[in-house]
Amino acid sequence: MAALEALLCDRNASGELVAPAAPWLERVKDDYDRSIGVTSLQVRLGMRVLIVLLEWLPLCVLGRAIRMSRLSLNDRVHYFEALEGHRFALLTMLLVATKIPMLVSAFESGDALKLTGYDRPTTSARRRLPVARAGKAEPAEPKESTT
Amino acid sequence: MKGILSDAPIVHGRELPHGFRHACDVVVVGSGASGMTVATILAEAGHDVLILEEGPYHRPEDIGRFEPSTSLRRLFREAGMVAAVGVGQTPLISLTLGRAVGGSSLLTGGVCFRIPSAVHHGWVHEQGLHEISERSLEAAYEAVEKRLAVREVPESMRSESSNRFVLGAERLGYTMRSLRRNTGDDCEGNGRCNFGCPAGAKRSVDVSYLPDFVAHGGRVVSDALVEQVIVKNGRAAGVRGRLLGGKFGAPSHEFEVEARTVVVCTGTLHTPQLLRSIGLRSYGLGRFITLHPAARVVARFPDRIDGWNGALQSCYSDDLESEGILFNAVYTAVNVIAAGLPGIGPALHERARQIPNLAMFGAMVHDEAGGYVTTGIGREPTLVYEMAPKDLLRLKKGMRVLAEMALEAGAEEVVLPIFGMPAITSRAQALAMERDPIDARRIECLAFHPLGSARMANDARSGTVDTNGECFDAPGLYVADGSIFPTSIGVNSQVPIMAMATRLAWRLSERLA
């Protein structure tokens, strides 16, 4: 949860970091848990190891003997940014391998989907296509189907 | 054990109250592109065929309504989290594998290629596999393509994301051609084929073959994990396994199917496991796996292009085919794009807001065999892959060319799938990326076409199956999936796999008759 909070936080109008809304965070966490729940023992163990490493690596990356989940939101963001651009590729790989599965559902619906600029109501909605007028030679009005 | 306690042609194994014992002519393990093809052809020829599929069954109309994360959980193996264990200078490679009735055909972008002539030439002239020459597969290709309603994607269906790269390619002298896809004339350009088609246009095998299979008396049991091939008197005589998805903590129900012919179609990573279950140790079994590693390059343009409107994959360039690089138009669901963008917190939000301005294209490498599968901690196999240095150079060249195309078309910046690398804004930077040494583990790759873990050969000293797909060391046991490909093919593999499976099924049908 602490990791998700940092990955999804944003700045407010005055430039301060703000944690994502709790319902959004809960939904993303639940989705991630459900996804992990359908995987094999191998993947579950692998993800667990990644999370444990993420939790304890501030010692190596920030030089501070503190767990990731105890860092302030600012420091957590700083920590993940340091991991993402770290000169040791394995540390970067560790972050990315955790981040992508965690965030797959984050921008899938609601306001987060709108933020991506996607112009359909849901990610499973069909594209709005112009409907051609039967038997008319002139260009069709850009009438839109509602499928 | 009793028989299958259901008369339905498609049985949800998880709903069965007990295991079963069943007898039939042919049992096909796996219901993906190859399994469904073999099973349908044999059923149409009058044979009694049962398909056993480890994954669940979902109706096509339901799949089209799944959100991407739901598709990942219900249709993708490991919820989309399969990755190769890289050795040495090997990128992080994620694999897309299906696990449902329809297999990976549910998850493709619908791209339909035939095996390039040069690959066939190598099979025939270097490996002596005259029976899988280009000409010998012609009739099979035609049969498959007719059933899949393969059509060329009209230019009007190209997304603006693809168009930008086409523009850049033209300016740089590369030729882009229209892809052929299995969507008939029904594609609406919803741009999310790999998570299920909302318009029901994509003719994955659950749409194109399953209805005919069922109409000819074939049956499918989903949620049925085959764990062992039964051998009697030195011949394959059936399979046994257990039903999945029952109540948590309850013992799983076992099943056993007797059949004089067993066809394994569980895919390149899982087929070796099943063959090893009877002690097969053929040459190359589980080894020499190729993946077609691919890199997706993302470019940001100054204007809004809404890349999700249009066919997910519409055009390609094979200008660098001789160098082992194929460029393919790609796109995916916006939430999946957002999850993969660089940045943490506010930086990620900023990138996500730019998605309407993003275009993307992929570069796929015709790789040399660098992988093998081994038994993992649980029941899933572990894929270990070592990328050949030559393939790494190809991958970098592919990314460089795509970056140049995007910049030539007016992109403001190009994000390469290289962790920690800032976006590039000039061709000089793209060239520098290609020339400078990079820790390959920083590169993020995708792979969709694992091939070659139970290779076809003329004799047992050089492969696992003969040119009819029958295991050298286990009569009656056939393999018809991508694992039998003697080499990588350099193009999307669904239609080639189905054509090979068709040819094998025709031959098998003659034998069984």
A119: nearest CA in chain B? Answer: B306
**Among the partner residues B189, B335, B353, nearest to A127 by beta-carbon distance:** B189
Distance in angstroms (rounded) separating the CA atoms of residues A121 and B297: 27
pLDDT of B431 > 80? The answer is: yes
The per-residue pLDDT for range A113-139, each reduced to its tens digit, is: 999 999 999 999 998 776 665 544 444
pLDDT band at B370 (very low <50, low <70, confident <90, very high): confident
Q: Which two tokens stand for residue B220?
A: 């499918």
Q: Which residues contact A9 (CB under 8 A, 6 or more apart)?
A: A17, A18, A19, A20, A73, A77, B345, B346
* CB burial of residue A27 (10 Å; 0-12, 13-18, 19+): middle
Single-letter code of the amino acid located at A46: G
Q: Which residues contact B255 (CB under 8 A, 6 or more apart)?
A: B1, B19, B20, B21, B22, B52, B221, B224, B240, B241, B242, B243
pLDDT of A52 > 80? The answer is: yes
pLDDT of A142 > 50? The answer is: no
pLDDT of A143 > 60? The answer is: no
pLDDT of A61 > 80? The answer is: yes
Task: Tell me which residues of chain B, numbers 55 to 114, contact chain A at a CB-CB cutoff of 8 Å.
Answer: 64-69, 72-73, 78-83, 92
Distance in angstroms (rounded) separating the CA atoms of residues B328 and B326: 6
Distance in angstroms (rounded) separating the CA atoms of residues B455 and B469: 9
Mode of pairing for the β-strands spanning B219-222 and B49-52:
parallel
Single-letter code of the amino acid located at B40: T
Average pLDDT over residues B213-227: 97
pLDDT of B214 > 80? The answer is: yes
Q: Give A65→chain B minimum CA distance, Å.
A: 22
A1 touching B, CB under 8 A? no
Q: Give A38→chain B minimum CA distance, Å.
A: 7
pLDDT of A15 > 80? The answer is: yes
Q: Nearest to residue B161, comparing CAs of B299, B294, B68? A: B299
pLDDT band at B374 (very low <50, low <70, confident <90, very high): very high
Q: Which two tokens stand for residue B276?
A: 């090893």
Average pLDDT over residues B393-407: 97
A129: nearest CA in chain B? Answer: B188
Q: pLDDT at position A133, please?
A: 53
By the 8 A CB rule, do B87 and B289 touch? Answer: no
Q: pLDDT at position A62, please?
A: 87
CA dihedral (B240, B245, B247, B248) positive or negative: positive
Average pLDDT over residues B308-333: 95
Query: Half-sphere exposure of B117 toward its Cβ, with a 13 Å CA cutoff?
Result: 2
A75 touching B, CB under 8 A? no
Give residue for tokens 């572990």: B382
Mode of pairing for the β-strands spanning B315-317 and B20-29:
unpaired
* Catalytic pick among B47, B58, B366, B449: B449
Contacts of B439 in chain A (CB under 8 A): 89
Q: Where are the alpha helices (DSSP H) in B76-133?
A: 117-125
pLDDT of A145 > 60? The answer is: no
Average pLDDT over residues B205-209: 97
pLDDT band at B157 (very low <50, low <70, confident <90, very high): very high
Q: Nearest to residue B296, comparing CAs of B95, B445, B112? A: B445
Query: A126 and B79 in contact by Cβ < 8 A?
Result: no
Contacts 24+ apart (CB under 8 A), A63-68: A68/A2, A68/A3
Q: pLDDT at position B436, please?
A: 92
pLDDT of A141 > 60? The answer is: no
Query: B378 and A99 in contact by Cβ < 8 A?
Result: no
pLDDT of B249 > 80? The answer is: no
Query: A100 and B335 in contact by Cβ < 8 A?
Result: no
In DSSP terms, which residues pair with B50 in a beta bridge? B27, B219
Where along chain A do its domains lie? 2-115
pLDDT of B248 > 90? The answer is: no
Q: Give B435→chain A minimum CA distance, Å.
A: 19
Please state the φ and ψ torsions of residue A9, each to the nearest 5 degrees: -70, 165
When the pLDDT of each residue in chain A is averaged and rounded to a whole number, the result is 87
pLDDT of B262 > 90? The answer is: yes
Query: Which of B69, B223, B306, B439 to probe by mutation at the A interface, max A CB count within 10 Å?
Result: B69
The per-residue pLDDT for range B279-290, each reduced to its tens digit, is: 988 889 999 999
Distance in angstroms (rounded) separating the CA atoms of residues B95 and B105: 14
* Complex prediction ipTM: 0.88
Distance in angstroms (rounded) separating the CA atoms of residues B181 and A10: 41
The per-residue pLDDT for range B87-118, each reduced to its tens digit, is: 989 998 999 999 999 999 999 999 999 999 99
The per-residue pLDDT for range B443-493, each reduced to its tens digit, is: 999 999 999 999 999 999 999 999 999 999 999 999 999 999 999 999 999
Burial profile B405-430: b = 16 or more Cβ within 10 angstroms, e = fewer: bbbbbebebbbbbbbbbebbeeeebb
When the pLDDT of each residue in chain B is averaged and rounded to a whole number, the result is 94
pLDDT of A144 > 50? The answer is: no
Average pLDDT over residues A62-69: 90
For chain B, list the domains and their CATH numbers.
10-57+204-279+451-512 (3.50.50.60), 61-99+150-201+291-447 (3.30.560)
Q: pLDDT at position A87, please?
A: 87
Q: pLDDT at position B1, please?
A: 67
Query: A38 and B441 in contact by Cβ < 8 A?
Result: no
Q: pLDDT at position A138, please?
A: 46
Distance in angstroms (rounded) separating the CA atoms of residues B403 and B407: 6
Q: Give A108→chain B minimum CA distance, Å.
A: 5
Contacts of B336 in chain A (CB under 8 A): 104
By the 8 A CB rule, do B290 and B453 touch? Answer: no
Query: A6 and B344 in contact by Cβ < 8 A?
Result: yes
Give residue for tokens 């002519």: B25
B449 catalytically annotated: yes
A78: nearest CA in chain B? Answer: B344
B374 touching A, CB under 8 A? no
Query: Which of B97, B348, B421 to probe by mutation at the A interface, max A CB count within 10 Å?
Result: B348
Q: Give A141→chain B minimum CA distance, Å.
A: 18
Q: Which two tokens stand for residue B126?
A: 């270097």
Range with lowest mean pLDDT among B34-48, B72-86, B133-147, B240-254: B240-254
Range with lowest mean pLDDT among A121-125, A130-134, B21-25, B74-78: A130-134
Q: pLDDT at position B38, please?
A: 98
Contacts of A16 in chain B (CB under 8 A): none
Distance in angstroms (rounded) separating the CA atoms of residues B220 and B100: 11
